[in-house]
Structure 1
Amino acid sequence: MPPSRPFRSTTAAAAAAAAALALLISGCSSGTSSPGGAASPGRSTEAGADRPASDTSPLKPLPAAVPADLRPYYDQKLSWHDCGVAGFQCATMKAPLDYAKPSPATDLKLAVARRKATGPGPRIGSLLVNPGGPGGSAIDYLQQYAPQPAAVRARYDMIATDPRGVARSEPIECLTDRQMDRFTQTDTTPDTPAEVNQLVTADRDFAEGCESHSGKLLPHVSTIEAARDMDVLRAILGDKKLNYVGASYGTFLGATYAGLFPSRSGRLVLDGATDPTLDSRAVNLEQTAGFNTAFTAFAKDCVKKKDCPLGTENATDAGRRLSALFKKLDAHPLDTGQDRKLTESLATTGVIAAMYDQGAWPMLREAIAQAESGNGSGLLALSDSYYERDASGHYANQMFANPAVNCLDLPPAFTSPDQVRAALPAFRRASPVFGDNFAWSALSCAYWPVKATGTVHRIPAKGADPIVVVGTTRDPATPYVWAKGLAAQLSSGTLLTYVGDGHTAYGRGSDCIDTAINTFLLDGTPPAKNKRCT
């Protein structure tokens, strides 16, 4: 497993999984932010705990006036050119590496793309989109999914920028493709002191690779800095307020923007929401429970089918059978028809990849059945889709950018193997199937070369326009309770609930959800209080 699994939006994750096997990523981490320290005072780390805690400080807005030393960035002009993708234009904007010490000598170049409003109807402004991760390419997301929904596309210029450290915007680099192949096979359920040492060594080598290749950038890829880049872009585009749709981690980015610039926040949709009042240990533990909820839903569906490879009894028995398969793979990895075998860690990632969208459940059933018969190719393909490893063996930058952001945004969940061992009972209660894997994967940020600059906080965003927070009741990567928590702390937040499975809700087939969000984006009217959709 990577140092932290990214939050993946369902649209991107499901599409990747489908391609491996036959809008408007997200996704996941051994918690999403594999960073995280001991639980903050007053906050329980058990899954489903009430929050926010009363002692969590608020994120303070930045001064409304643009500082003189940042004015050149706000006043810059973009030179648009054809992207090579029909209907899209691209440009490059400059942003300071360090907002505290801006200098042209160290400026970052951030990639921007747009698809101009098509009409009919008057143009409302720009609509920035972000698919999550952290580390997902917003430009790829825009170019693949901007055609929908047509009514929104007609009235907005659709905009995306790859955040600093991501894809086309000064990408973080860490390991070679061959090194990543070895890293993804690392045993994340160590049974012996030697296996623990191997896991720690893999995490250290990963961190050292990132420092070696991207050391100057690592201290400056925080979510707060990415949000400040978004305000620069808003000004360059000529918009008085930022309109935004963010999925998964993109909700944290959007909420952070609202907290820093409440007077400049326009129509914000935060789908598959995260809760900034949680420390990293709580994030990891609650996400473990979220994936357990998703697996239970998959298992209940599977055991109803005669060909279910996990039996036809009940979800508990299905979980035991899957755990037994993982244990077999730990001892005897399977052939896959490639030069890589299916290890326990790769198989676990493959199962997790299919939890993002119930549309991938048939693929998962087939892949598990193949593994039971001695063929690991199906689960390996699902794992590769999660890691964004293409057919040539090349890994996308997301697996490097993800821990770089997460490990900077919050202190590590654990700082030693002994702390992980002490936490294993809680993680196993959260998920008998995935608990050990998630707990040990959460150790990675302990070895990160840059000390975290972020802390847990509330985001009240007082003075911001209405903000729509969307939560899915059986979301694996961003549990529903997080959406409730974020909506409650936002002064102008409105919770919109999707009763169903999968990660995120907008554009996934619910007319109720899509109509509510489209109406908000087009005329500014938020959904009714406590609106629920199926």
Structure 2
Amino acid sequence: MRKTIKGVVGAVCLLTALNVAPGISQATGGTVSWVDCGDGLQCGDVTVPADWAAPAGARVKLGLAMLPARDQAAKKGVLLVNMGGPAQQISVLRQAKEVFADLTQWFDVVVSDPRGFEASTGIECPYQAPIPDNAEWVFPDQAAYEQYRTVNRQFGIDCTRAAGPLAGKLNSWQVARDMDVIRAALGQAKLNYYGNSYGTVFGQAYAEFFPGRIGRMYLDSVVDHTTRSWPDWLRPRAETLERNLGRFAEWCAGESGCALHGRDVLTVWDEVIARATREPIPAPGEGTTVSAARILSRTNPAFDLEWPDLARSLAEAHAGDATRFAEPAIGGRDPDLSRIMFCGDYPYPSRYQVLKSWETELREVTPRIGWAVTWMMAYHCAGLPVTRTYPPHRLHVHGLPPVLVASGEYDSTTPPLDARRVAAQLGNARYVPAKGGHALYLSGHPCVREHVHRYLTTGALPPEGTACGTA
């Protein structure tokens, strides 16, 4: 049966005896004391230095949760999972347990809230400054961008003040070392790891620092942390996004139920964007108007299941009613702590002139929508105070065991080129492309799941040249 956690993953004890070998945490000399915490989970924690560059200093807690293997006597070990974000994991696991049901045939599935998040020593970022509309991350002009950068900078300052000993310590350089404490505390000589989306950044860091302590590692929907050129990093995202708009148009041409069937979809798109650029389109259902920036920010044609809604939204906007694009965005409060860690790993430039020049270059190759990816990173990182960062760099890895890597052809968030770049640098990795989108395993891609299960349980990589078709 296909299992999904759509809408959960872009958002991730022991009162009765378990056959879990108690492990020693190198940072604390302790073990994980598991307790029942509801929803079939066991919960515990370990402590780690707030700053691994000064390990004798303040300590912080890392919250853990485990979905135990169904047959403790027959299990193959423990699998540490990070579903992405960077964000909390335990509350996501409570909603996504069924996605991991197959894995609990063989493993205790363990997640940890990263340092600073929820069940770990958490950081509560104040929200004193007015927060911009989180539905709009494409900036129409410099004035709008500078206003946003000022607000985002204040958000970052307030978060830093609230972080205490964790201020400036949220990045994958720190998290990789946290992961090794978790490995030891779980009694594992080798770490079995499954990283999805942003969890692949943690995996890249762990592979660089602790290659000899990896058992098996599966990286899904890889975020490349090895490319130092921002234009080179942005371009595959832009090109994939642009291709997806073309896929949407092709679908509509062959689907009689599409609200734009029989019309030139790309021409309709161009006309809607041009009109909204000249003057925002009325959205009477929400009592407002809709700009081109909002339409661009709210459109991601990577998701096939959302194409019917996108077609209706464009048809109505073309007729003069953009209410569908004005509806509030679904999701939690934004900005949140995630961007502090994200921008610690990816210190994106903030100067408007630089960003605008990249947009101009991308418009030449992706004129309809792809160029907008320039501003997604700026939306996260613009104006944030400079902290100690762990910037992108080429991996220097030796002695890794075989690693399995997969990415979806239609994924503009983590495009396939990211996975290919990282796999090539890991030195002993097998890359499996798939016709699909983001989070292949979590979204239930049957071919990918089959290869992942075989690899994690036996260590056998798929044959060279293996590819997965449409789910």
Pick the TM interval, shorter chain.
0.7 to 0.9
Contact 1:77 / 1:236 at 8 angstroms: preserved in 2? yes
Q: Distance in 2 between matches of 1:358 and 1:185?
A: 21
Q: Distance in 1 between matches of 2:294 and 2:4?
A: 22
After superposition, the C-alpha distances for 1:146-172 in whole angstroms (9 at most, x for unaligned) are 333544212100100011123332344
User: Which residue does the alignment assign to 1:138?
Assistant: 89
Q: Distance in 1 between matches of 2:10 and 2:326?
A: 20
In structure 2, relative to structure 1, the CA distance for the partners of 1:116 and 1:429 (3 Å cut) is same
Contact 1:185 / 1:343 at 8 angstroms: preserved in 2? no
User: Which residue does the alignment assign to 2:304?
Assistant: 358
SS in 1 for 2:298: helix
Match of 1:188 among 138, 158, 166: 138
Contact 1:322 / 1:433 at 8 angstroms: preserved in 2? no
Q: Distance in 2 between matches of 1:521 and 1:425?
A: 44
In structure 2, relative to structure 1, the CA distance for the partners of 1:204 and 1:533 (3 Å cut) is same
SS in 2 for 1:142: helix
Shift of 1:233: 0.6
Contact 2:212 / 2:399 at 8 angstroms: preserved in 1? yes
Match of 1:296 among 239, 242, 246: 246
Is 1:126 aligned to residue 78 of structure 2? Answer: yes
Match of 1:159 among 107, 110, 116: 110
User: Which residue does the alignment assign to 2:296?
Assistant: 348
Match of 1:211 among 126, 146, 160: 160
Is 1:426 aligned to residue 361 of structure 2? Answer: yes
Letter in structure 1 aligned against 2:298: G
Under a length normalisation based on structure 1, what TM-score does the superposition of the two structures give?
0.76
User: Which residue does the alignment assign to 1:528?
Assistant: 463
Tell me the matched-pair count: 453
Letter in structure 1 aligned against 2:48: A
Shift of 1:203: 3.3
Contact 1:114 / 1:159 at 8 angstroms: preserved in 2? yes
Under a length normalisation based on structure 2, what TM-score does the superposition of the two structures give?
0.85
Match of 2:175 among 220, 226, 230: 226
Is 1:276 aligned to residue 254 of structure 2? Answer: no
Q: Which runs of 5+ in 2 are unaligned?
A: 12-23
Q: Distance in 1 between matches of 2:465 and 2:123?
A: 40
SS in 2 for 1:501: coil
Q: Percent identity?
A: 28
Match of 2:99 among 148, 153, 158: 148
The equivalences for 1:455-466 within 5 A come to 455-466=391-402
Match of 1:89 among 34, 37, 42: 42
Q: Distance in 2 between matches of 1:261 and 1:333?
A: 56
In structure 2, relative to structure 1, the CA distance for the partners of 1:186 and 1:511 (3 Å cut) is closer
Shift of 1:525: 1.0
Shift of 1:494: 0.7
Contact 1:78 / 1:91 at 8 angstroms: preserved in 2? yes
Q: Distance in 2 between matches of 1:160 and 1:304?
A: 43
Shift of 1:129: 1.1
Contact 2:281 / 2:321 at 8 angstroms: preserved in 1? no
SS in 1 for 2:70: coil
Contact 1:411 / 1:451 at 8 angstroms: preserved in 2? no
Q: Distance in 2 between matches of 1:346 and 1:375?
A: 14
After superposition, the C-alpha distances for 1:389-410 in whole angstroms (9 at most, x for unaligned) are 3xxxxx27xx423321222113
User: Which residue does the alignment assign to 2:339?
Assistant: 403
In structure 2, relative to structure 1, the CA distance for the partners of 1:364 and 1:120 (3 Å cut) is farther
Structure number with the higher helix fraction is 1
Shift of 1:369: 4.3
Shift of 1:131: 1.3
Could you say which structure has the greater relative contact order, defined with CA pairs below 8 angstroms and 6 or more residues apart? 1
Contact 1:269 / 1:468 at 8 angstroms: preserved in 2? yes
Q: Which runs of 5+ in 1 are unaligned?
A: 1-9, 17-24, 28-67, 390-394
After superposition, the C-alpha distances for 1:418-452 in whole angstroms (9 at most, x for unaligned) are 21222222121343233554324444535221235
Shift of 1:454: 1.9
